[in-house]
A and B are shown apart, each in its own frame.
Chain A
Amino acid sequence: MLRVFYSDLRFLLNQLSLKICIGIVMGYTLMFVVVLKIITLFLNSGNFIYGEDVLSAYGDVAIFAITAATLLIFSSDFANGTIRNKLVNGIKRRHIFLSAVFNGMLAAAFMTVIVTLFETLLALVFTDGFMTYTLPELSNNFLMLIITSASIGAFTTTLVMVFGGNRISYFIGFIIAFFLSLIGSEVATKLYPMNGKCTLQGAKLVLYTAYDRFMPYMHFEGYPRWDIYSYLLGSFVLTVLSITVGLVIFERKEIK
């Protein structure tokens, strides 16, 4: 298992798609800051940019960025025939699957670390500091983002492994990311309205709150609102569910 994991990790670090995805997200973050700076300087003079504004840039695109990166990386494993090669060489299916999922988690976490560090650097250079975050909160948020990203990476990698890296995996991956973003936005708007108080009640309130608290995709929606244990639990459940269901399907999957 470890040798497959190591060989997959080496493949991951050599992957052009991962580097391109990270580069695009960093470019997006930089553009976000530049546009924000221009608006502040010329159109909204007198206002300040805060570190929190810069840190929100990755959160807006993280779900799509992680989905794209993991889909690209692991679908190439199918397209290049390397999954086939592993099976031919007597590697057990569950080892192939677990190694891919763990590497998907690593890829997502790696991307989050690099982009968040870059955001922090931009925040230090281009902003007037953090308004609400203290240093422990910042590190807590950073840790939470890494864990959440890893669980989303596990989910999207499972999709690729289950659907065999074909176009359906891309379609389903992005459709899921898109709908979860929409749902996330809806839940956040209803729970934390810009004006007035939350009007949700009863079962709907419980459901929305539980979704907001435990669904890893929600952790990119605005500032952290729950304790790290809630985020940990949500991410853990998504990861375990992805692995369990994915393993059952991949063990029976016919590979072309």
Chain B
Amino acid sequence: METVFKSENLCKKYGSFSALSDLNMEIPKGAIYGFVGKNGAGKTTLIRILCGLQRPTSGSFSLMGKSWDDKEIYKERRRLGAVVESPAIYKDMTARDNLIQQYLMLGLPDFKGIEELLNLVGLSNTGKKKARNFSLGMKQRLGLAMALCGNPDFIILDEPTNGLDPQGIIEIRELIIKLNREKGITFLISSHILDELSRIATHYGFIDKGHIVRQMSAEELKAECQKSVKMKVADTKVLAKIMEEKGIEYKIFDDQNAEVFTEITFSEIAEAFAKEKCTIFTMGEHEESLEAFYLSLLGGENNA
């Protein structure tokens, strides 16, 4: 598996406080990697180290295959775009001027892509409005546009939907999916909105106390977040008989309520119950969410 980022026993200490402790993590190329953890778990520390803002105390990591202590790693960082904590923008400039600034800094030959980028993030109509007068959502979009300058291969987004309205959240989500699918850009997304993350992430990393507790693909998570059907029937003894005949796992709560752990075809089940002359009162699909999985994995206090 080709990776854009790989860390081995990465540690970061601030005095006696250990922000990262033997962190091992891999971000596969082309993934949308959802980075999940409580406040202070070490998410931002890892992002800072990855971006070259800070140095690890021990351990190592590689970015696009280049080791962190390689003098040429700055070349790989040119393929990186990031919005870390707050969007990096020049407040006394317009959205367009901000992008020109980024183009100049990256040494891009012309400014042809700027209008397209402004359209992409929905800031094409901001005209001469200075960035200091932008709303939080607009700043977030501008930060994203800045991160997209120069067609990066890997984008790091720390709370990308922070401050966005529901429409904006949907637009950013669709933009991330589009960029990932069409341009193959790898994303590392740290988000507090787990439901939102679960809609786009292809891989997950759960961090706690500076340590990766679990890494998994969306498919693996789906398998772990077992689907079930909650049923209310006239007699759960009949339900037990039918489920055993079909080899389906189930759990009886009382005489009328039970839970069936599989994806079932409703009509097929209804037919079986009709044959046994047992009434089905209600039937509803239930799925454990990323949120529930996260809570079971890391505990519920101070979640982020």
Contact = CB atoms under 8 A, between A and B. Distances in A.
Interface of A: 3-4, 6-7, 10-11, 14-16, 76, 80-82, 84-92, 254-256
Pairs A-B, 5 closest by C-beta atoms = A90-B77, A85-B88, A81-B88, A90-B78, A7-B104
B51 A87 contact: yes
B126 interface: no
A14 B93 CA distance: 7
Listed residue (A81, A82, A88, A90) with the most chain B CB atoms within 10 angstroms of its CB:
A88
Contacts of B48: 255-256
Interface centre among A80, A90, A91, A92 (most CB of B within 10 A): A90
A234 B178 CA distance: 58
Contacts of B79: 90
A85 B107 CA distance: 14
B223 to A, nearest CB: 35
Given A81-B84, A255-B53, A89 B90 contact: no
A76 B91 CA distance: 9
- The size bracket of the interface on B is 35 or more
Contacts of B91: 76, 80
A77 to B, nearest CB: 9
Given A84-B53, A255-B54, A14 B97 contact: yes
B52 interface: yes
Contact of A80 (B53, B82, B88, B156): B88
A92 B105 CA distance: 12
A54 to B, nearest CB: 32
B146 interface: yes
B77 A88 contact: yes
A85 B74 contact: no
Contacts, number: 85
A82 B88 contact: yes
23 contacts: A3-B107, A4-B105, A7-B105, A11-B101, A80-B88, A80-B89, A80-B90, A81-B84, A81-B88, A82-B88, A85-B88, A85-B102, A88-B81, A88-B156, A89-B77, A89-B78, A89-B81, A89-B105, A89-B150, A90-B75, A91-B74, A254-B54, A256-B48
A256 B86 CA distance: 11
Contacts of B78: 89-90
A158 B97 CA distance: 27
Interface string B258-273: 0000000000000000
B106 interface: yes
B104 A3 contact: yes
B80 interface: yes
Interface of B: 48, 51-55, 74-82, 84-93, 97, 100-102, 104-107, 146, 150, 156
B106 A89 contact: yes
Contact of B80 (A16, A76, A90): A90
A93 to B, nearest CB: 9
Contacts of B55: 254
A10 B101 CA distance: 8
B82 A11 contact: no
Contacts of B80: 88-90
Contact of B90 (A6, A82, A84): A82
B105 A87 contact: no
Given A14-B92, A76-B91, A88 B105 contact: no
B139 to A, nearest CB: 10
B146 to A, nearest CB: 7
A88 B52 contact: yes
A254 B92 contact: no
A84 B158 CA distance: 14
Contacts of A6: 104
A188 B135 CA distance: 52
Contacts of B52: 87-88, 90
A82 B107 CA distance: 16
Nearest to B94: A14
B93 A88 contact: no
Nearest to B14: A254
